[in-house]
Amino acid sequence: MNSAMGDEARAWLLALVGMLLAGAASAAAEESTSIAKPGCQERCGNVSIPYPFGTTEGCYFNDDFYISCNSTHYDPPRAFLTGSTIEVINITVQGKLRIMQFIAHDCYNRSGAPVSSNTPFLTLSKFRISDTDNKFVAIGCDTEATIQGIQDVQGYISGCISKCDSIDYVDNHTCSGIGCCQTSIAKGVSYFELSVGSYNNHRGVWDFNPCSYAFVIEEKMFNFSSSYLRDLQDVTVMPMVLDWFIGNETCETVKAKGMRDACQGDSTCYNVDNGSGYRCKCLDGYEGNPYLPNGCRDIDECKDPNLNNCERMCRNTKGNYTCFCPKGYHGDGRTDGTDCVAIQSGSLVIQLTVGLGVGITALLAGSTWSFWAFKRWKLIKLKHKFFRQNGGLMLQQELSRRDTSTETAKIFSAEELEKATNNYDESRIIGRGGYGTVYKGTLSDGRIVAIKKSQIVDESQIDQFINEVVVLSQINHRNVVKLLGCCLETEVPLLVYEFITNGTLFEHIHNKSKASSMTFETRLRIAAETAGVLSYLHSSASIPIIHRDVKSTNILLDDVYTAKVSDFGASRLVPLDQVGISTVVQGTFGYLDPEYLHTSQLTEKSDVYSFGVVLVELLTGQKALCFQRSEEERNLAMYFLSAFKQDRLSQILEKCVVKEAKIEVVKEIAKLAKRCLRVKGEERPTIKEVAMELEGLRIMVKHHPWGNHDEPNLEEMEYLLGEPSLKLGSNAAYDSMKDHVILQVGNGR
């Protein structure tokens, strides 16, 4: 621990020295703001040419980016794309290229004879017409215009029609179909041809509209005016936008081939739409040309109050900035943080600032020591505080009262768990849930454990939390993830569980490659085991243990698909409203008991409801995620219930369930799920009834693995199903089944 403190102190020292030197450093860091390679032409007439574009050999990235600057025929000079006749009027390093493109026209004289027309086209050997920036527009009152293009390798045609009788009805400033119509450009177009024609040779409208026009134009440059109907004859070109990018491969492919991408300095590579090329962009906090070495320059956020949220003082750092407070104040200095608060006199900071005046050397030595001592004292105090706050004293008492022969929860120290997880290393994270992070750790005795670190604590729940820790740590049931202990010295309690090898039920249901190997029988067994263990805990000796957060991500599986329910009562650690919120926000399947919205209480019957959802999930499998996507407002339970009602059950079932299970059996499970999902808690069955029915179904399926041809004896099936109806009351099979269930539950204790 001492070495950790040393590191912290060193970091603090460095920061202090950095502060003193900051002024000098920032003055020296002036960098050039050139947009082109050194010695290359930065402009061609009015157009600035940023690298990777360039006008002479060695100045551009490759031939795709060659700009020919024609100064012999034009003054000021004009820029053309790769030696073609396509004129370039603006280039941005963000990947846009503005060019001028000819417009199509079709004109007639008063008596309806054609005067002139054209069909301009544009062919790009590289780059694409931007579908987001451009529109195809046609203007005229007797006009039919088309754009024919090639998108990748296939052709496409689109267009629009505009007819009108009088200029009086033309909407000025809106291109809405009268006198002017428009349509979008397809994605990925590299070639197009425009043509425009008329139905009636502009007879009857000639007075105000002798010609039809069609063009592709940058949307934000276009504002229709009814005067265009008459006098667009002098206009021959319109501005439009191309998307440019480098190469024809993704960033990943380039890297995989062992080549360097074109991104330099503080920049990053990203793929354009379809992976047919890539671009570079400066990292957050930087701006400039990402294709040049040192092209991305740090943004000085402190210069622009819109870019920083410092209350008092701002210091620019590389790629970011920090706020700080003047002498005599403390806080983070952020308007969205703690601001700056005046320090009461006599505090440590004032003493330190006095020290500054005495001499920097003295200060550094002195302050390091006092910082270290202060921090150490504070840390010890903090640990005690957390331990008390987290109910440590209570737990210690509780544990010492019990007999020490049985294995109970252990109280781990903070250091022990830090060591086990390599100081909570990112690579040890095996899961992130609604209210915590789970790390994989190795204890000093070699045991592999899962360590759960919660995010927030509701202090009012601490008593119950401790109580449950004690109860849970004594439970040794094959379908419960064993709680080995906890650590209370940290701000939030850490829980230590046994490590389960094969991940969550959720993954096994929804991951295609895993789902296929989970048979119907296995699904049914997992359901039965889960219901069984919930039943066991609901009827546990001292207090009923309500799980409160039954969901497929809380059911873990070992390497032979044994269900291991985790996180019993762990939701105690979170204020309940947050459980609700996280359930909604995460867009899970809606496991939360609807009654909770009225009563704000989670009961045994809430577990039954959540279990019902898991049951549905097991039946619908991967399709569950699809409903979730298509039916945004409705949850899985409602979707399932409506499908069940409309007799569409087989449409929404997982493939293997349809294939392997008799529809009658599935219907029984569905009926059971339906009962679990009743809105009124009191109308739901107890989890014990549910467990018994599932166990009955399981036994039946096991002993009657019917093929599709082999009709079941319906009578026999009905009684094996164990509906708690009169018919079955004194049936031998039912009784023996019940025994079996009880037996299994008993085993767990």
Ligand X SMILES: *[C@@H]1O[C@H](CO)[C@@H](O)[C@H](O)[C@H]1NC(C)=O
Residue 204 is a binding residue for ligand X (CB under 6 A): no
Pairing of strands 189-197, 142-151: antiparallel
Q: Could you give the C-alpha distances from 703 to 532, 698, 722, 740, in angstroms and in order? A: 20, 9, 15, 15
> Among residues 207 and 284, whose Cβ is nearest to ligand X?
284
**Least distance to ligand X, CB of residue 213, Å:** 17
Please select the residue that binds ligand X; options are 8, 165, 207, 284, rule is CB under 6 A. Answer: 284
**Dihedral of CA 43/44/49/53: which sign?**
negative
**Active-site residue, from 549, 567, 593, 607:** 549
Total residues belonging to the chain: 749
Please select the residue that binds ligand X; options are 143, 182, 226, 535, rule is CB under 6 A. Answer: 226
The 10 Å CB-count burial string (b at 16+, else e) for 175-195 is beebbbbbeebbebbbebbbb
Stretch that binds ligand X, among 69-77, 449-457, 632-640, 716-724 (CB under 6 A): 69-77
Stretch that binds ligand X, among 220-228, 238-246, 465-473, 676-684 (CB under 6 A): 220-228
Residue 187 is a binding residue for ligand X (CB under 6 A): yes
Quick note: the x/- pattern for ligand X over 476-505, rule CB under 6 A, is -------------------------xx---
Alpha-carbon gap, residue 285 to 266, rounded angstroms? 10
Alpha-carbon gap, residue 144 to 160, rounded angstroms? 6
Please select the residue that binds ligand X; options are 8, 31, 152, 631, rule is CB under 6 A. Answer: 152
Residue 172 is a binding residue for ligand X (CB under 6 A): yes
Residues in 295-334 at the binding interface with ligand X, rule: CB under 6 A: 319-320
**Least distance to ligand X, CB of residue 43, Å:** 9
Stretch that binds ligand X, among 65-73, 210-218, 366-374, 699-707 (CB under 6 A): 65-73
> Among residues 200 and 397, whose Cβ is nearest to ligand X?
200
Residue 56 is a binding residue for ligand X (CB under 6 A): no
**Phi, psi angles (nearest 5°) of residue 81:** -80, 125
> Among residues 110 and 376, whose Cβ is nearest to ligand X?
110
**Least distance to ligand X, CB of residue 171, Å:** 8
Pairing of strands 410-411, 483-487: parallel
Please select the residue that binds ligand X; options are 68, 148, 519, 686, rule is CB under 6 A. Answer: 68
**Least distance to ligand X, CB of residue 474, Å:** 28
Residue 41 is a binding residue for ligand X (CB under 6 A): no
Residue 117 is a binding residue for ligand X (CB under 6 A): no
Residue 514 is a binding residue for ligand X (CB under 6 A): yes
State the DSSP string of 427-463: GGEEEEETTEEEEEEE-TTS-EEEEEEES---GGGHH
DSSP reduced 3-state for 129? strand
Q: Could you give the C-alpha distances from 737 to 461, 563, 697, 732, in angstroms and in order? A: 39, 21, 10, 9
Neighbouring-strand partners of residue 439: 429, 451
Alpha-carbon gap, residue 426 to 204, rounded angstroms? 75
Stretch that binds ligand X, among 71-79, 196-204, 420-428, 595-603 (CB under 6 A): 71-79
Contact 319, 298 (CB under 8 A): yes
Residue 513 is a binding residue for ligand X (CB under 6 A): yes
| Contacts (Cβ under 8 Å, ≥6 apart) of 95 | 243, 244, 245, 272, 279
Alpha-carbon gap, residue 25 to 18, rounded angstroms? 9
Residue 285 is a binding residue for ligand X (CB under 6 A): yes
Burial of 83 by CB count in 10 Å (0-12 exposed, 13-18 middle, 19+ buried)?
exposed
Residue 336 is a binding residue for ligand X (CB under 6 A): no
**Least distance to ligand X, CB of residue 53, Å:** 13
| Contacts (Cβ under 8 Å, ≥6 apart) of 362 | 355
**Least distance to ligand X, CB of residue 153, Å:** 8
> Among residues 67 and 495, whose Cβ is nearest to ligand X?
67
Total residues binding ligand X (CB under 6 A): 36
Alpha-carbon gap, residue 21 to 348, rounded angstroms? 24
Please select the residue that binds ligand X; options are 176, 200, 248, 747, rule is CB under 6 A. Answer: 248
Concerning whether 131 is annotated as a catalytic residue, the answer is: no
Residue with tokens 């199509």: 104
**Cβ neighbours of 281 (radius 10 Å):** 17
Contact 506, 552 (CB under 8 A): yes
> Letter for the amino acid at 704?
H
Alpha-carbon gap, residue 569 to 467, rounded angstroms? 10
> Among residues 57 and 683, whose Cβ is nearest to ligand X?
57
Q: Is 453 labeled as ligand-binding?
A: yes
Please select the residue that binds ligand X; options are 125, 166, 227, 294, rule is CB under 6 A. Answer: 227
DSSP reduced 3-state for 650? helix
Stretch that binds ligand X, among 445-453, 457-465, 507-515, 605-613 (CB under 6 A): 507-515
Q: Where are the alpha helices (DSSP H) in 63-207?
A: none
**Least distance to ligand X, CB of residue 564, Å:** 12
Alpha-carbon gap, residue 615 to 1, rounded angstroms? 48
**Least distance to ligand X, CB of residue 272, Å:** 10
Residue 72 is a binding residue for ligand X (CB under 6 A): yes
The token pair at 678 is 């009743």
Residue 70 is a binding residue for ligand X (CB under 6 A): yes
**Least distance to ligand X, CB of residue 19, Å:** 16
The token pair at 672 is 């059971």
**Least distance to ligand X, CB of residue 161, Å:** 21
Contact 127, 245 (CB under 8 A): yes
Quick note: the x/- pattern for ligand X over 613-652, rule CB under 6 A, is ----------------------------------------
Contact 343, 350 (CB under 8 A): yes
Residues in 376-405 at the binding interface with ligand X, rule: CB under 6 A: none
Pairing of strands 436-442, 429-433: antiparallel
Please select the residue that binds ligand X; options are 7, 15, 17, 76, rule is CB under 6 A. Answer: 76
The token pair at 433 is 């849930």
**Least distance to ligand X, CB of residue 295, Å:** 17
Alpha-carbon gap, residue 392 to 399, rounded angstroms? 10
Please select the residue that binds ligand X; options are 159, 177, 188, 355, rule is CB under 6 A. Answer: 188
Residue 75 is a binding residue for ligand X (CB under 6 A): no
Please select the residue that binds ligand X; options are 32, 92, 116, 184, rule is CB under 6 A. Answer: 92
Task: Describe the chain by its helix, strand, coil percentages, rounded to 5.
Answer: 40, 20, 40
> Letter for the amino acid at 22?
A
Residue 155 is a binding residue for ligand X (CB under 6 A): no
Quick note: the x/- pattern for ligand X over 537-576, rule CB under 6 A, is ----------------------x-x---------------
Residue 274 is a binding residue for ligand X (CB under 6 A): yes
Per the annotation, binding residues for ATP are 453
Annotated binding-site members: 453
Any idea which residues carry the catalytic annotation? 549
Binding site for ligand X (CB under 6 A): 45-47, 68, 70, 72-73, 76, 90, 92, 109-111, 113, 152, 172-173, 187-188, 223, 225-227, 248, 274, 284-285, 319-320, 501-502, 511, 513-514, 559, 561
